[in-house]
């Protein structure tokens, strides 16, 4: 009985409780892109690996108004530093280098709770294989999320 009491009262060898803060994968989710209706889907995986895609409207004669999905070729998150490069679709690909920051959203799940702030470079290759790059500073807002939805029945 004494051994059982000692084992039960000894909390020193127990595994510590995980911290109350959630890990960086909180940044996973949907973010606004350049035009209404366009978005970035971001997923933070193990060891800072980032996967996802940009869903945007095509702007060529052949794809105008159609949604194009440009999947990430590479992506990483180191602390709050985020970078990704998309695959090329219809001669267009994107590079992003910036940070994940807290935005003006008040609570987790609110619109703009997180912002992807940095430089977005749109690379284009024309029919003559000439490449052009257009750089702009962006602040992409996280979409609102209904955090209670999974718990409701």
What's the confidence (pLDDT) of residue 149? 52
Mean pLDDT to the nearest integer, 107-115: 92
- Tokens (6 digits) for 107: 């609570």
Average model confidence (pLDDT) for the chain? 84
The CATH label, of 2.60.120.560, 2.40.128.30, 3.40.50.720, 3.40.1190.10, for the domain at 23-144 is 2.40.128.30
Mean pLDDT to the nearest integer, 94-109: 94
pTM, to two decimals: 0.77
What's the confidence (pLDDT) of residue 77? 96
Q: How confident is the model at residue 15 (pLDDT cuts 50, 70, 90)?
A: very low
Domain boundaries, the chain: 23-144
For residue range 71-82, what is the model confidence (pLDDT) as tens digits? Answer: 999 999 999 999
Which residue did the predictor score with more confidence, 152 or 54?
54
Contact (CB, 8 A) for 102 and 114: yes
123-128: which pairs have CB atoms within 8 A and are 24 or more residues apart?
Answer: 123/88, 123/92, 123/93, 123/94, 123/95, 124/91, 124/92, 125/88, 125/91, 125/92, 126/91
Which residue did the predictor score with more confidence, 43 or 10?
43
* Whole-number Å distance between alpha carbons of 82 and 79: 8
For residue range 20-75, what is the model confidence (pLDDT) as tens digits? Answer: 444 444 899 999 999 999 999 999 998 999 999 999 998 877 788 888 999 999 99
pLDDT above 70 covers a percentage of the chain that reads: 79
């Amino acid at each position: 009985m004494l051994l059982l009491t000692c084992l039960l009262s000894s909390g020193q060898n127990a595994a510590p409780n995980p911290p109350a803060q959630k890990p960086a994968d909180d940044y996973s989710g949907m973010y606004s892109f350049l035009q209404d209706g366009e978005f970035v889907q971001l997923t933070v995986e193990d060891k800072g690996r980032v996967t996802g895609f940009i869903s945007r409207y095509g702007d060529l004669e052949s794809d105008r108004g159609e949604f194009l999905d440009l999947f990430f070729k590479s992506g990483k998150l180191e602390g709050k530093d985020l970078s990704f490069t998309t695959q090329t679709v219809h001669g267009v690909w994107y590079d992003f280098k910036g940070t994940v920051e807290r935005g003006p959203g008040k609570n987790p799940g609110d619109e703009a709770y997180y912002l992807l702030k940095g430089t977005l470079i749109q690379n284009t290759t024309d029919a003559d294989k000439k490449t052009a790059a257009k750089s702009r500073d962006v602040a992409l807002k996280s979409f609102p999320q209904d955090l209670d939805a999974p718990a409701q029945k």
